[in-house]
Structure 1
Amino acid sequence: MSADKKRIWINGQLIEVTDEVYAAYTKGDRKMRYFENDLKTERFLLNKDGRLEQIIPSREDSLDRLMEDNAQQFSDGQESVEDVVLRQMMVDKLHIAIFQLTEKEQDLIHALYFDGKTEREYAEQLGVYRNAVHKKKMRILEKLKKLLE
């Protein structure tokens, strides 16, 4: 074998190949190592002092690893499209029912549920007892319940 020829290790022996074959083989070999190892392992970046600076997570996780880490590939907490549509329909129906209330009833609902005021704060604003606001709120909620049915 001459010194300027490239050699590759195949089936336990060195084989002399051309530069083009060597380049193609090493490119393919590197690609295989990338898929078999680099994608599946975490890497650590160290700073000049040798201290850990950053952990680069693997870009591919196996189902086994996800199960070991108690990770969920697909989150159950995510709302489905159907749930979003149904919720929006209920919100629209609620707004229509609120518009059927009198102006004073709408003001009370808006203050308590949209402005975040307490019954006590709203009672002080009107100059009435908190208990009166509470009773009025309960009557309005019953009215809304009937309108939504």
Structure 2
Amino acid sequence: MGGAARMSRRAVDAGAMALTGQIAIVTGASRGIGRGIALQLGQAGATVYVTGRKPAESDAASENYLPSLEKTAKEITERGGKGIAAYVDHSNMEEVKQFFERIERDHNGQLDILVNNAYSAVKVRSVKYYIPFLQRLPTKVC
């Protein structure tokens, strides 16, 4: 193992539980960057709420190979943190309100880290014809 790898490993080991007792939320944490951030926060000892939409509501619902919130939460716990999966549609203000009320209730208002990673593509529709915007684009480009 090279010197840089050893240095990196030592730095990670030294700070492995630096976030014990900290409460974190990572939105959009079922895959990608959000998942990676959530796993690292867990490895550092944080309690991490991972949020995402219910699979049936997700654009990626048909892509069964993608990690789920439950798998992410389980892996956070295996890495030394506490992973908690929470299905929240962050475009629904009532669901968001209920979720933050849960955090306040369960942790006496403590929230130390918020990673706002959730994203949902905007669906553009033609007002005039009620057909998806991209279906109205010309098929030939000159």
- TM-score, normalising length from structure 2? 0.23
Greater relative contact order (Cα 8 A, min sep 6): structure 1 or 2?
A: 2
- Structure with the bigger percentage of helix: 1
Larger Rg: 1
- TM-score, normalising length from structure 1? 0.22
